[in-house]
Amino acid sequence: MKVLLVFLAVTMMAQAVDFRVEKLDNGLTVVVSRDASSPVVTVCIAVKTGATCETPETNGLAHFYEHMFFKGNAALPSQTAYNRRMGELGIVRNGTTSSEMVRYYVTLGSGKLEEGLRFMYDAITSPLFDSLEMEREREVILNEYQRGLVSPFHPYVEAMEKVIFSSAPWRYSAIGDPEVIMAADPEVMREFRHKYYTPDNSVLIIAGDVDCDRVFQLASEIFSGWEYGGRSDYDSLPRLVRIERDTTVLVDSPSGIGYVAVVFEGPSISTDPSDSYPADVWGEYLSLTSGRFYTDLVTNGPFTDVSAWYYTQRFAPTVTFGGRVPAERAMEALEALRDEIRELQDPGYYDPEEMRLAKERLRRDRILSGETARDVAVESLSFWWVVAGNLDYYATYLDSIRAVEIDDVTAFVRRWITGKPSAAFVMMPLEGSMEP
């Protein structure tokens, strides 16, 4: 089997993660990161799918599929056999679904790597979608949905999805639509797999106490039989977030909790990657409790806590300000927050020493994200491969953060915040809505 080699060995300062990348003929990207600190290995498969790929008729299938991944397949057809095999291999496993990606991983002893790779190959290529197991997981998912409904912040989340993602709010809702979950059957799941669960739409990441050359050999031997697809529409999907005019939404809070948020469109990592670096530094700067932002709004203002953040995404990037407030001071808090936002374009707002501290905290966060092989595979490399499209962004991130200056931060603010339309949400009990 011919292997197209794309070698990338990255050393980002002394503590950073080293990894290599190869691509198989069937389009599967294989990433290996060696960490000999303990005799374990994590095998992760990330798929470019999630709520962002769904329609109103399919909203929730990505999440349902995740629940069915660790179930019977052609090699281990019964759940009893499947569970027994996990026990034999000493596997710790999990899966997660978000709006823009789905991840699955197993962690096991590095001496059982080959068995672990075959275990994941069978799971990704030949799921059975047993009807009885689907009924069990259907109930689990619906219970998850109900738990979300009783969260005191559910009214805010629901309002935000409808306003900020008004063109297709289902593309942000990873939990899914209960009606879609209730109607899903094995055939629907097979159709979803046919479109998105293909090697050219996925990445295989192996991190831990391994020999890299041996891992690439095993990956080629085991995963080359996974048939190329070419059917995914992920990379051609349109941007989701759209805020065309200033909007203020009053959100009822039966629980009595007060919360205020102001949301702007943010830079997409696929079209505006250079703006994401000052955005990260800016968000970290405003998170400093010693800084002016926190002092003005919490220490001397109406908020009990407040944050500002940019969340790196491809389709739904946002710049968000938000925090808890006493419900009776919610409108006052909104005005105070807006006043503070207007100050952010002034270079004098930013202290050079605190800016240095913000960048140092980002560097430390990056180092911590590579502290274990599991973190490297599941939380870092898989996320950036899917969201950024490859690992070049991840490889150069620390250098790019180090180069950010105050002028870059204020330029980011002027481009994405100052004078730009926003959606404000004020959550407080409206008349007669308080729970007894």
* 247-428 shares the fold of 3-236: yes
At 4, is the pLDDT very low, low, confident or very high (cuts 50, 70, 90)? very low
**Amino acid (one-letter) located at 152:** P
Q: Does position 11 have pLDDT exceeding 60, yes or no?
A: no
CA-closest candidate to residue 103, choices 376, 327, 291, 336:
376
- Determine the Cα–Cα distance for residues 258 and 260; give it in Å rounded to an integer: 7
With contact defined as beta carbons under 8 Å apart, do 95 and 123 qualify?
no
With contact defined as beta carbons under 8 Å apart, do 428 and 156 qualify?
no
Q: Which CATH class is domain 247-428?
A: alpha beta
Contacts of 348 (CB under 8 A, 6+ apart): none
Tens digit of each residue's pLDDT (9 = 90 or more) over 43-88: 999 999 999 999 999 999 999 999 999 999 999 999 999 999 999 9
Rg (CA), the chain: 23
Dig out the tokens for 87 from the structure: 């026990």
Burial class (CB in 10 A: 0-12, 13-18, 19+), 213: exposed
CA-closest candidate to residue 111, choices 208, 222, 219, 223:
208
Higher pLDDT, 435 or 182: 182
Q: If you count DSSP H runs as helices and E runs as strands, how many of each does the chain have, helices first? A: 16, 12
Please, where are the H alpha helices in 228-329? 273-286, 292-294
CA-closest candidate to residue 143, choices 94, 178, 97, 174:
178
Q: What is the pLDDT of residue 3?
A: 43
Q: What is the pLDDT of residue 432?
A: 55
Q: What is the mean pLDDT of the segment spanning 116-133?
A: 97
Pairing of strands 423-428, 247-252: parallel
State the helix-helix crossing angle for 352-368 and 392-402, rounded to 10 degrees.
150
Q: What is the pLDDT of residue 431?
A: 76
Q: Name the residue ranges covered by the structural domains of the chain.
A: 3-236, 247-428
Q: What is the pLDDT of residue 99?
A: 96
Calculate the dihedral angle through the C-alpha atoms of 202, 170, 132, 104, rounding to the nearest 10 degrees: 30
Q: What is the pLDDT of residue 410?
A: 98
Give the percent of the chain with pLDDT over 70: 95
Q: What is the pLDDT of residue 5?
A: 40
- Determine the Cα–Cα distance for residues 259 and 428; give it in Å rounded to an integer: 7
- Determine the Cα–Cα distance for residues 8 and 3; give it in Å rounded to an integer: 15
State the helix-helix crossing angle for 79-89 and 113-125, rounded to 10 degrees.
150
Work out the number of other CB atoms within 10 angstroms of the CB of residue 436: 3
Strands ordered across the beta sheet of 20-24: 3-6, 20-24, 29-34, 202-208, 40-47, 102-109, 92-97
DSSP string covering 56-96: TTTTTHHHHHHHHHTS-BSSS-SHHHHHHHHHHHT-EEEEE
CATH classification number, 3-236, choose in 2.70.98.10, 3.30.830.10, 3.90.1150.10, 3.40.50.300 = 3.30.830.10
SS3 category, 183: helix
- Determine the Cα–Cα distance for residues 352 and 401; give it in Å rounded to an integer: 15
Burial class (CB in 10 A: 0-12, 13-18, 19+), 182: exposed
> Which DSSP state fits 239?
P
Tens digit of each residue's pLDDT (9 = 90 or more) over 319-367: 999 999 999 999 999 999 999 999 999 999 999 999 999 999 999 999 9
How much is the mean pLDDT over the chain?
94
